[in-house]
């Protein structure tokens, strides 16, 4: 996902999409990490990261997305240097405003890259299923002016929750590379039949995760 975010071809395709709608492309990204900090594995953390990316690209949105904080900041002399606290509620409200207004505001088109959906902390208050519903709702409410590129392990909640027509299965793309790497590492096995059977089982269990294969065969 990190490579895709920074790939020139991906960027040019997104910009071409935005141009067809006469809109400016706004890009934001978030990477869930379940052994990281609270913000790295929580819903409020995702909202903050994405909102920061949006407002960093389009500072003019701050006034309409966070009107109370904007007024407060404008009324405070810059010499004071007071730190402004933005609550989780304000962050979510601002983000929802931006998504909702994107269907009528004809100036901006958004694309959000969100990696590791399965690494969101799955709680009774907000589950992985709730996350799927939320992301689909963003796209629906924006009338297609919010594009989402998301990734996760193949858990049923994500497989069933998103369209199969716009899905890339990493293990299908990297299978040949994994097979070649495994065969090279196991070339000491004299029986080609035994080696091929072992390689097949390794690649099947790896599900596209190159690091896992590396640990198994070295």
Distances (CA, A) of 169 to 3, 160, 216: 16, 14, 22
pLDDT in tens, 56-75: 999 999 999 999 988 887 87
Find the domain containing 117 and state its range.
2-167
Quote the mean pLDDT of the chain: 91
Tell me: do 209 and 119 sit in the same domain.
Answer: no
Q: Quick one: tokens of 39?
A: 């913000």
pLDDT in tens, 149-163: 999 988 999 999 998
Tell me: do 155 and 113 sit in the same domain.
Answer: yes
Tell me: do 75 and 112 sit in the same domain.
Answer: yes
Tell me: do 163 and 196 sit in the same domain.
Answer: no
Tell me: do 62 and 80 sit in the same domain.
Answer: yes
CATH number of the domain at 98, please: 3.40.50
Number of domains in the chain: 2
């Amino acid at each position: 996902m990190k490579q895709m975010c920074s790939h020139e071809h991906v960027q040019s395709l997104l910009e071409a999409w935005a141009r067809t709608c006469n809109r400016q492309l706004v890009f934001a990204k978030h990477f869930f990490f379940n052994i990281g900090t609270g913000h790295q594995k929580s819903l409020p953390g995702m909202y903050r990261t994405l909102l920061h990316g949006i407002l960093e690209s389009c500072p003019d949105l701050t006034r309409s997305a966070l009107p109370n904080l904007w007024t407060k900041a404008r009324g405070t002399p810059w010499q004071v240097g007071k730190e402004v606290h933005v609550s989780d509620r304000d962050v979510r409200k601002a983000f929802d405003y931006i998504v909702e207004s994107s269907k009528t505001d004809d100036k901006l088109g958004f694309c959000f890259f969100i990696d590791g959906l399965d690494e969101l902390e799955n709680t009774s208050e907000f589950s992985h299923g709730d996350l799927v519903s939320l992301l689909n709702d963003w796209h629906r409410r924006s009338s297609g002016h919010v594009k989402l590129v998301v990734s996760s392990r193949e858990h049923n909640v994500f497989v069933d929750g998103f369209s199969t027509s716009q899905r890339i299965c990493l293990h299908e793309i990297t299978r040949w590379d994994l097979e070649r790497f495994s065969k090279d590492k196991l070339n000491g096995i004299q029986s080609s039949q035994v080696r091929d059977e072992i390689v097949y089982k390794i690649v099947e269990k790896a599900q596209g995760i190159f690091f896992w294969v590396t640990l198994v065969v070295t």
